[in-house]
Amino acid sequence: MSNGRTPYQEAARELLRKTVFDAAREQLAQQTWSEITMADIATGAGVSRQTLYNEFGNRNEFGFAFVIHEAERFMDDVEEAVLEHRNDPRAAVLAALEHFLRTAAEDPLISILLSDDGTGGMLPFVTTQGLPVVQWAAARLTSVIEEGWPEAPEEDVRRLAESLVRLSISYVTTPGDSAGDAAKNVAELLGPFIDKALGSSGDALAET
């Protein structure tokens, strides 16, 4: 369904969003989220504050949009890791989760998010107020799994995707084991369900 925008308008909107997200990332390298205003971001991006409000609604909605934008960088690699193991669902989950956790642990912005001491940082966007981010990530992962295992039951895929997203966020925000060990634990824990949901369709793909 068309949103009424021309290709030029869509390209301009994407450029605007990238510009303001880049400006926010630069601000976060110097200040905490609680110290950053929409005016700061607008100035850094070279746009008006009203332009930001027109695009995002308010500061909180901008924060969620920014977190999701950053998460997109991880999800492209997660998708590749999943689809490289179409014939082995457990290996797909293991590879994707290990890659995500290792990349997140090395990402400077994630370190900034995790440095929140409870005084107004961005951590709540993925924890106590993180439902929009969870819903977005679960929907994205659901579509990836459906691409790799099109015969898998829809409800099982949805449950698996949401569980993996919530577990991933938990491991990122409260790190303990290494990325490899954490991913292995999750793959083993969910293994029987993964086999039930994806195993038969994976077998069918292997025979084609």
- Asked if residue 195 and residue 101 are part of one domain, the reply reads yes
pLDDT in tens, 161-176: 999 999 999 998 887 8
- Report how far residue 173's alpha carbon sits from residue 114's, in angstroms, rounded to the nearest whole number: 6
Residue with the bigger pLDDT between 109 and 200: it is: 109
Global pTM reads: 0.82
Whether pLDDT at 159 is above 60: yes
DSSP letter at 195?
A: I
Share of the chain above pLDDT 70, in %: 91
Closest CA to 65 of 2, 135, 132: 132
Give the model's pLDDT for residue 121: 75
- Report how far residue 67's alpha carbon sits from residue 52's, in angstroms, rounded to the nearest whole number: 16
Q: Which of 39, 57, 75 is at the close of a domain?
A: 57
pLDDT in tens, 25-36: 999 888 888 889
Closest CA to 194 of 88, 97, 75, 48: 88
- Asked if residue 182 and residue 140 are part of one domain, the reply reads yes
- Asked if residue 119 and residue 48 are part of one domain, the reply reads no
DSSP letter at 34?
A: G
Give the model's pLDDT for residue 54: 95
pLDDT in tens, 80-108: 999 999 999 999 999 999 999 998 888 88
Give SS3 for 172: helix
- Which residues neighbour 199 within 8 Å (Cβ) at sequence distance 6 or greater? 89
- Asked if residue 3 and residue 92 are part of one domain, the reply reads no
- Asked if residue 28 and residue 70 are part of one domain, the reply reads no
- Asked if residue 74 and residue 28 are part of one domain, the reply reads no
How many Cα atoms occupy the beta-carbon half-sphere of 71 within 13 Å? 24
Q: For residue 35, what are the domain limits?
A: 1-57
Return the CATH number at 126.
Answer: 1.10.357
- Asked if residue 71 and residue 32 are part of one domain, the reply reads no
- Report how far residue 94's alpha carbon sits from residue 99's, in angstroms, rounded to the nearest whole number: 8
Return the CATH number at 23.
Answer: 1.10.10.60
Please, which pLDDT band fits residue 117 given cuts at 50, 70 and 90? Answer: low
CB 94 within 8 A of CB 183: yes
The CA-atom distances, in angstroms, between 14 and each of 2, 41, 90 are: 16, 16, 36
Domains contained in the chain, number: 2
How many Cα atoms occupy the beta-carbon half-sphere of 145 within 13 Å? 29
What the block records as the tokens of 39 is: 């005016």
Q: What are phi and psi of 149, to 5 degrees?
A: -135, 75
- Asked if residue 166 and residue 80 are part of one domain, the reply reads yes
pLDDT in tens, 187-205: 999 999 999 999 854 443 3
pLDDT in tens, 42-74: 999 999 999 999 999 999 999 999 999 988 888
DSSP per position, 60-121: HHHHHHHHHHHHHHHHHHHHHHHHTTTT-HHHHHHHHHHHHHHHHHH-HHHHHHHT--SSS-
